[in-house]
């Protein structure tokens, strides 16, 4: 991908149209490879890539995140561990332990109430992965993401 095109896509991930998980589903999301940034207000908390394994690209990947289901979704685990757990009351913890309350549902509510995202489609999964790594290494003006920075 030409460098000027890459820079334009990076600018979109930093300041382009923002979508709220509360508006899920987002119909315009393509089933193609891409990169996305997740935000808590103006703080970059996560960057991800979609389309590495074929599957359903950006639409499927972000749908998985919007579901709040922690099983098989590292993003949802991060959100639960780093943001949701500290908000739980003793009563909620008892409910989760007894099975009357679902931690996945609480995670989904948190994601849909507090988080937004931006996305860009790219031609190949290889391009998406390259952009994701650059952002994880601090390639956006706002710095590296809180939850998945590239270490070392």
**What does the pLDDT look like over 131-151, one tens digit per residue?**
999 999 999 999 999 999 998
Q: How far apart are CA 39 and CA 146, in angstroms?
A: 10
Q: Is 12 inside a domain boundary?
A: yes
Q: How many CA atoms lie within 13 A of 19 on its CB side?
A: 20
Q: Is 150 inside a domain boundary?
A: no
- What's the mean pLDDT when you consider all of the chain? 94
Q: Is 83 inside a domain boundary?
A: yes
% of residues, the chain, pLDDT over 90? 90
Q: Is 147 inside a domain boundary?
A: no
How many structural domains does the chain have?
A: 1
Query: Cα-flanking dihedrals φ and ψ of residue 114, to 5°?
Result: -120, -15
H/E stretch holding 61: helix 57-67
In the predicted model, is pLDDT for residue 44 greater than 70?
A: yes
Q: Is 143 inside a domain boundary?
A: no
SS (H, E, C) 102-120: CHHHHHHHHHHHHEEEEEE
Q: Is 107 inside a domain boundary?
A: yes
Q: Is 146 inside a domain boundary?
A: no
Q: Tokens standing for 11?
A: 């600018």
H/E stretch holding 121: strand 115-121
Non-local (6+) Cβ contacts of 66 within 8 A are 21, 24, 25, 108, 111, 112
Domain assignment of residue 116, given as a range: 3-136
Q: Is 141 inside a domain boundary?
A: no
């Amino acid at each position: 991908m030409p460098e000027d095109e890459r820079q334009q896509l990076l600018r979109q991930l930093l300041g382009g149209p923002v979508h709220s998980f509360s508006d899920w589903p987002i119909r315009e999301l393509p089933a193609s490879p891409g990169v996305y940034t997740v935000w808590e207000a103006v703080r970059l908390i996560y960057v991800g890539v979609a389309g590495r394994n074929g599957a359903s690209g950006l639409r499927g990947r972000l749908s998985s995140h919007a579901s709040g289901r922690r099983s098989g979704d590292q993003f949802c685990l991060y959100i639960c561990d780093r943001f949701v757990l500290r908000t739980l009351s003793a009563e909620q913890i008892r409910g989760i332990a007894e099975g009357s309350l679902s931690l996945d549902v609480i995670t989904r509510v948190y994601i849909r109430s507090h988080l937004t995202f931006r996305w860009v489609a790219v031609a190949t999964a290889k391009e998406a992965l390259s952009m994701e790594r650059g952002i994880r290494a601090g390639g956006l003006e706002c710095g590296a993401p809180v939850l998945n920075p590239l270490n070392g």
